[in-house]
Amino acid sequence: MLRLREISSMELTRAHLDRIEQVEGSVRAFVTVTEDEAMREAEHVDQLRREGAKLGPLAGIPIAIKDVLCTKGIVTTCSSRMLEHFKPPFDATVIKKLRAAHAIMLGKTNMDEFAMGSSTENSAFFPTRNPWDLERVPGGSSGGSAAAVAAGEAMASLGSDTGGSVRQPGALTNTVALKPTYGRVSRFGLIAFASSLDQIGPFTRNAQDAALMMQTISGHDPLDSTAMNETVPDYAAALTGDIKGMRIGVPKEYFVEGIEPGVRASVDAAIKQFEALGAEIGECSLPHTKYGIAAYYIIAPAECSANLARYDGVRYGFSARDTSGDIIAAMSETREQGFGAEVKRRIMLGTYALSSGYYDAYYLKAEKVRTLIKQDFDAAFGRFDALICPTTPGVAFKLGAKTADPYTMYLNDVFTIPANLAGICGVSFPGEFSEGLPVGVQLLGPAFGEPTLLRLVDAFQRVTDYHTRMPEVATKRKSAARKRR
């Protein structure tokens, strides 16, 4: 419609800002709405289009950004008091790429503080609500980005996935949520949680849009030493609709007690659909999967304790004013006041795991387990093009239902964490609903296997309509997001 000039970018952007105004008081997906900037960018795109200038692939498309990605001159909070007023002096690489593609940024989305959580209840500001049921969580830590797309507040969004933080909220909100291979997308400008696990990925409503987003954000970056210098394929070209002869493995360790019956039924239905489309289905084993949660909650907190040591009240961010002259006391008070309970919990876990006398017993052993998990995946991908399993054990749970028990909360990521440990790619896509709530089906692929995953999801979506369903969102509460006008 934009290319045919049936609608202008200003009209499309205005429609989304109006939608935000309408439902944001209920959903609370945004920390910051950049209304004036968005309209200026949209006007600029319309002017370029009138002039016949060459436009980027996302020209005029309104997109939301997880508030963990640096945006020049725009508050980037990580949903933490520690960075509540922080304005980065630069854009993250993925933001630069979106700007070069002429995308329109609508604002920054709410999240679990420093990306630590599975429900977006750990935000220092307010919890985000699931558009499908406002009494339930949208997942996390990228819950705001997922909810924004699900509620029609943005056409696509970016999140970050350290242990499932893109795929898990994607599953709970009926969106397509892709975690790229580690190194496929630059992490420069992503505020770090666990540097060997973090990866930036998109939320969209279908595989075609996910391919377009991946085309834009992928690629080598000299500013990120972990960004792989691999040729970026044409993701859209992979969406042929033909999956005859493709091999899909069903890992038996992902189908265990504790999965809700509706989730199991949805995944089983997806397996049958892929088989009907001509894919070959077979069972496989990932025997070290059961150690994934334990290994992750050593490695991720260890890296978090190192990365978050920079928030000391000296250089930038929140600083507790101390007149005693005791620098240690001032730093301690800054961290006590600036960090929330979950962040403090993980810093302490990680510091303990790295401490003298415990490094070999915990961190080194966890890294060895990580290698075993990767070897399991390597063996499986020697036989199969992709693996299929649930994204989460259950549908979205009630707000407050799991906040008192961190371990129960951590188990929401039991099926997503192994992919981060192995550095492979994964995607959650909408399957059959369970009692009126979305269910995510997960496909896992080998390193740089994103085209294969998108091809499978696209084929599935050509014959199903789960991804086209939209929630009816109540419009009661006043928005808590700050606005830049």
Catalytic residue among 9, 26, 79, 141: 141
Backbone angles phi, psi at 208, to 5 degrees: -60, -45
Catalytic residue among 66, 97, 179, 402: 66
Reduced 3-state DSSP string for 68-114: CECECCECCCCCCHHHCCCCCCCCCHHHHHHHHCCCEEEEEECCCHH
Annotated active-site residue 434? The verdict is no
Measured CA to CA, the distance from residue 112 to residue 107 in angstroms comes to 17
Catalytic residue among 165, 218, 305, 479: 165
In this structure, are residues 57 and 212 in contact, taking their beta carbons and an 8 Å threshold?
yes
Q: Could you tell me the end-to-end alpha-carbon distance of the chain, in angstroms, rounded to an integer?
A: 28
C-alpha torsion sign, points 475, 146, 149, 172: negative
Annotated active-site residue 141? The verdict is yes
Annotated active-site residue 402? The verdict is no
Q: Is 164 left (phi over 0), alpha (psi -120 to 50) or beta?
A: left
SS3 of the chain: helix, strand, coil, percent, to 5? 40, 15, 45
Specify the residue for token string 């929330």.
340
In this structure, are residues 9 and 46 in contact, taking their beta carbons and an 8 Å threshold?
yes
**CA-wise closest residue to 471 among 72, 77, 133:** 133
The 8-class DSSP code of residue 139 comes to -
CA angle 63/69/74 to nearest 5° reads 80
H helices within 252-338, ranges in order? 261-276, 292-307, 327-338
- Catalytic residue annotation: 66, 141, 165
